[in-house]
Structure 1
């Protein structure tokens, strides 16, 4: 046999096989057909939806074929109808019964295993109705006291018993003869339970839920959880595999389109997987043969599967693994070949733990009757750390408990955490906290703000001042002399003058030359230029005519433009210049007619230094005017070094320091632009994981609350649902308060010891729903085993 399929006109919600497994009925919103199953195809026998005379204008939510009579098929509809179809009739007579007892959608119908006329249904209205198809209305009504009933199944081990699962995560066991109250009720899952199925051989009940688990319960006496299977999506349907005690098939409601067959003894990887569907599967039915089953899905297809075409995920699984505990010990599992496995089992010097592991794998594989696990023998190795490293792990817990991460200033937090690190023998981390305080403490931030607001006038005041007041007086007098000479006002924007002192110096021992010289310092767009203006006829060897001064003053503006460009070029290389005492360097004593100036170029003078581009003055004692243009005071940005330091600690495995410093920095994190959010999230989640290993749940909650990243602080918004029942009438409490919807009792809020309302920590028993103050219950259970109310229940408090 091989895999084949038949397409449909729309999504298929359910399917059911007849007692001989030769025909299949499929139903959906627009589909209700019956097919004969042949060797390599499906052959259509009847299309019930195609009849024009039948009132079937509603979608088919579930289908059940009588296991004792091939003539009857029951369907559940979304409008609350339960219909029974007689396949021996045609036309309108085919619809044997149309029950309209339910007020909302019917989720499930199920025929009795031994009585062909008995039928039960579960609805969204929270009721279950027991029908005799020979009668026009329901025989018995069962109230689950829940919002909805998702699945009902008759027990193959007790003809009077059936199970029901609900949206509140509970499982109820009923006796048909006692509709007043269920025999047993227990909370099976943390979310809605969508399906259940009885094991055909033993009294096991499998339940599937939205919490992505399949649980197997032993109902021999008290409900006991035997196995738990963890899946990747919410499970909508489960079916035990015939003739295989530990195998069960499942299909998901969302995400996963595969049909997986699990071995409950190895719950983390499917035993076999079938990937033919392109949308989620909605139903499974075994053909009585453990190697063949049928499935339907929302991809408009019905498939006939064989195990020969199954995919075995275990064969592709990684045979190696590693685990680390809180103390740093490492467990390492490594795959062994068949030869290595034999040698390991026969060697007397081999690791005893490896021997036990190989022996266990052999024992499991040999106990399989037909289907076997994928063979993967492995050896297990245990590595322990030395005492110093173990001490390091204890220090992490001590630091986490004593660190303060909020509620104070950055300086105070860093100072406290530095002292904590030093106390527990972590001097390097203590120094790191000190550095963070120095860089990002309140003092640093205040200085940074002050420096950034310093204006240009304050910068100029920090320049080298004029040496003496006499120079200022001479400057003012010289300005007035220039005005008296009739100097023309300069155009706006050309320059604004500041006149230097009049320098007097001697040219030799025998002869003294006194020259009055004015050094003009022009400011053009903030840059100084230097101009020399004479106030009278010179007494030196260069003589100007009467009109020479006028000519020089007339050309002052053009000289300024040249001087500005020259200074602009030099200012880019040097920030400070010293004005020389004279416009020309000191010359020798004049005896004859002075030679042309070309014979004495300035750059040949020994007093001019080309390397430093500064003018050397013979007499340094003379007060000089020095003008400097200091650069803007630039702020030092330590963010790069801080980011590198945090990454260094993270690489060394000290994720605690990196995460805690980020939290303490607070708003100063905006300066760490080199550190992206992905790295910050990685550090925070890593620290949370480490704290979880040490069971430091309060600190974990604190870290999550202090986080600034949505992916981290939303972890606390993932609520946990706890289903509790009224201690008086046992009805599940649906609301957030303490008041029961049925009996309007508030006894659940009272302590069973002191009979007072519990306003603090509350503890209760999930079996009898009685509880009270934590301390009172602790004192009671220290000397008693039964409940304090006298209900004689052996309480197990949560």
Structure 2
């Protein structure tokens, strides 16, 4: 049977099949019809909306067909009415009952499966009402104490039980004989539950929610979640597929207009998909045959679907998967043949075992969709020397250098060691740490600290014009400048552009004069200006840390490092204090030509009125800050990454090599550092690298780790003759005065030096003698009969 459809006058909200599955009723705001289902088309039987006597208020929100008597239909209206229709009557008499008990929209109506005249409804007012269509009023009222009841369904396993789902994500189980309180309630979803459906054969209840999941609950005893299906949109309707225990159909309320049939055991890809609807599907009903069902939608269409026309998303999925990560490791997933196979030696034991144990069902309802078994194989690069991770760890531990050299040298050496043992990634990590925490980084950090904090200094170019007042201040025409003007104490003389060179022996040394900024000395040409310039007398007394004046287009240019401050400041008109009132002043800077021509010293000057408070040439407010990249966060993440991979060796050794640079890792918890060090020490002890473990303890900066070597190493021994503890010395017994404990059990000579003994019988001797003995025998050499297995 193929797929066919029929168009309607408006969106269809619901549909229902009769007992024989040969008629279908559909309802909507403008639609209320009954069709007869033929082989390839829908044949309209009656149109209940065409009657002039029916009010428009009876727009159908849901429709239900009595499962025992084909004459009765029930509809849920948006105005809160529940109507019962008798199809054997005509005109207005068709509306046999009109219940107006609900105060808000009725979302769902359902006839009882075995009681022909019993009907239940669920509404937005949070109540469920139980009707006997032979009476005018509701038989019972069930208060859910929730905002809204979205769906109610009678249980096919118990005639007195029904399930109700609500907007608060809960499911309630009720007994129609006990309307006072529900039997059971549990939270099924994190959002509103829009629909539910009982499994026809098993005590399962499927629920669909706005949280984009369909959940299957086992209600035999207490509610137990059996399966969860993850969908791409909120689900509004669900319906179990007949004769298929694990199949359920669903349709969404937004985004997705497809009708999907799921296998609950495979929750991420549908078993079959039907894409005929062009708008949201509003209902699904199977015709008794698991391969045929009907659907309605908001696209004003009613469809008759056949599974033969379905799309199978799983068939488009690749049966084999292959992926490669950044480390060069390959992961492969392949399908296992589930048919019985003969052992020909070409398949793995796992494949053969699965193939033999897997049974092939021969029934018509067998589901072969889920019976997909796969193997996953992971292929890793052999980064370890000789292919042994333990040998690599031992080799790194023995060859790493952790102290005695600079950080750059240690990182370079350890990088070469890691590369020698095939750890290319670890080698690159050491290279990165060398770049970040080498001597150049440390020196720059110290400089930034000395200059007032990293990231707070900026280079500012300040230009001041060279005017006449800097050359011959207060000199009359035709007169010679005095000694001070020639270069004595005049601050501007040292920057004079004249022919005569002057010297000032009284000026302080430039190194001491710029001690406030020692990190920026000798930046360009190794010399600093000898002048003692300041920005104002009382505002900010900081010397110009220049590198000598640079002359460009008649302007002096200084490289100045502006320290951090909060208040605004203004550059005064004069770059240095004036010794007396200026009577002769050069033209203002804005009248200067682009090319500056220095005036002659004997050139006649003109007296210009000088303002008491001339405006500043340059005003700077809140100078920008230079941002320095902080690598601490990335470094901490890298160390945590290797620790999470189980490589505490890399995390611990990097921290030790960094030394004083660890202070830049302020975000690294001290407890975590201790955990890494102790883990590495435990690993070294496991491999019996006692000397390396002791070195790690000695180099530790944490008191809790560094004090491990200060713990007591006293070992109490017993006398080898009377077996009493040796109190004072380890070779003389205070009780029997025997010195047997200090004698070698093999050569019977006093052991001078290292003494080894059995912890079980307390007998021992020279290390070489005992080692030779236990290599041939297992019992004690004294003849006590003890098996000295721990020597």
> What's the TM-score bracket when you normalise by the shorter of the two chains?
0.5 to 0.7
Deviations 1:89-137 (A, max 9, x none): 1111111111000111111000011111110001111111000011111
Q: Does 1:354 align with 2:354?
A: no
1:116 aligns with 116
**Structure 1 SS opposite 2:171:** strand
* Partner Cα distance (1:638, 1:25) in 2: 72
Deviations 1:492-541 (A, max 9, x none): xxxx99531399xxxxxxxxxxxxxxxxx99855499xxxxxxxxxxxxx
* Partner Cα distance (1:3, 1:440) in 2: 76
Q: How does 1:421-500 map to 2 (within 5 A)?
A: 431=434, 434=437, 443=449, 450-457=457-464, 498-500=497-499
Q: TM-score, normalised by structure 1?
A: 0.52
Q: Report deviation, 1:57.
A: 2.3
**Structure 1 SS opposite 2:114:** coil
1:614 aligns with none
Q: Report deviation, 1:481.
A: 7.9
Q: Report deviation, 1:439.
A: 7.2
Kept in 2: contact 1:354–1:380 (CA 8 A): no
Deviations 1:245-298 (A, max 9, x none): 221111111121111111122222111110111111110011111111000111
**Structure 1 SS opposite 2:238:** strand
Q: How does 1:94-243 map to 2 (within 5 A)?
A: 94-243=94-243
Kept in 1: contact 2:455–2:628 (CA 8 A): no
Q: Report deviation, 1:456.
A: 2.6
1:564 to 1:197, Cα distance in 2 relative to 1, 3 A: closer
* Partner Cα distance (1:636, 1:99) in 2: 76
**Structure 2 SS opposite 1:355:** helix
Q: Report deviation, 1:46.
A: 1.4
1:372 aligns with 368
Structure 2 unaligned spans of 5+: 394-425, 482-494, 503-549, 558-591, 599-623, 646-791
1:314 to 1:53, Cα distance in 2 relative to 1, 3 A: same
* Partner Cα distance (2:478, 2:133) in 1: 124
Kept in 2: contact 1:191–1:209 (CA 8 A): yes
**Structure 1 SS opposite 2:237:** strand
Kept in 2: contact 1:30–1:49 (CA 8 A): yes
1:61 aligns with 61
Structure 1 unaligned spans of 5+: 395-423, 461-471, 483-495, 504-520, 529-560, 568-634, 658-798
**Structure 2 SS opposite 1:20:** coil
* Partner Cα distance (2:342, 2:265) in 1: 24
Kept in 2: contact 1:358–1:379 (CA 8 A): no
Kept in 1: contact 2:340–2:356 (CA 8 A): no
Q: Report deviation, 1:363.
A: 3.6
Q: Report deviation, 1:479.
A: 8.3
* Partner Cα distance (2:71, 2:98) in 1: 16
Q: Report deviation, 1:348.
A: 3.9
Kept in 2: contact 1:258–1:273 (CA 8 A): yes
Q: Report deviation, 1:330.
A: 8.1
The structure that is helix-richer by fraction is 1
Q: Report deviation, 1:63.
A: 0.3
1:611 aligns with none
* Partner Cα distance (1:274, 1:253) in 2: 15
1:68 to 1:437, Cα distance in 2 relative to 1, 3 A: farther
* Partner Cα distance (1:283, 1:58) in 2: 19
1:448 to 1:64, Cα distance in 2 relative to 1, 3 A: closer
1:165 to 1:28, Cα distance in 2 relative to 1, 3 A: same
1:324 to 1:239, Cα distance in 2 relative to 1, 3 A: farther
Kept in 1: contact 2:259–2:274 (CA 8 A): yes
Q: Report deviation, 1:323.
A: 9.7
Q: Report deviation, 1:358.
A: 4.7
**Structure 2 SS opposite 1:195:** strand
2:248 aligns with 248
Q: Number of residues paired by the alignment?
A: 478
Deviations 1:538-575 (A, max 9, x none): xxxxxxxxxxxxxxxxxxxxxxx9996999xxxxxxxx
**Structure 2 SS opposite 1:119:** strand
**Structure 1 SS opposite 2:49:** helix
Deviations 1:48-102 (A, max 9, x none): 1121111242421100011111111000011111001111111111111110001
1:212 to 1:450, Cα distance in 2 relative to 1, 3 A: closer
**Structure 2 SS opposite 1:346:** coil
1:343 to 1:196, Cα distance in 2 relative to 1, 3 A: closer
Kept in 2: contact 1:365–1:373 (CA 8 A): no
Kept in 2: contact 1:216–1:228 (CA 8 A): yes
Q: Report deviation, 1:653.
A: 8.8
**Structure 1 SS opposite 2:93:** helix
> Which segment is superposed worse, 349-358 or 23-32?
349-358
Q: How does 1:747-758 map to 2 (within 5 A)?
A: none
1:86 aligns with 86
* Partner Cα distance (1:349, 1:187) in 2: 51
* Partner Cα distance (1:161, 1:123) in 2: 18
Q: Report deviation, 1:44.
A: 1.7
Q: TM-score, normalised by structure 2?
A: 0.53
Kept in 2: contact 1:357–1:380 (CA 8 A): no
1:31 aligns with 31
1:222 to 1:450, Cα distance in 2 relative to 1, 3 A: closer
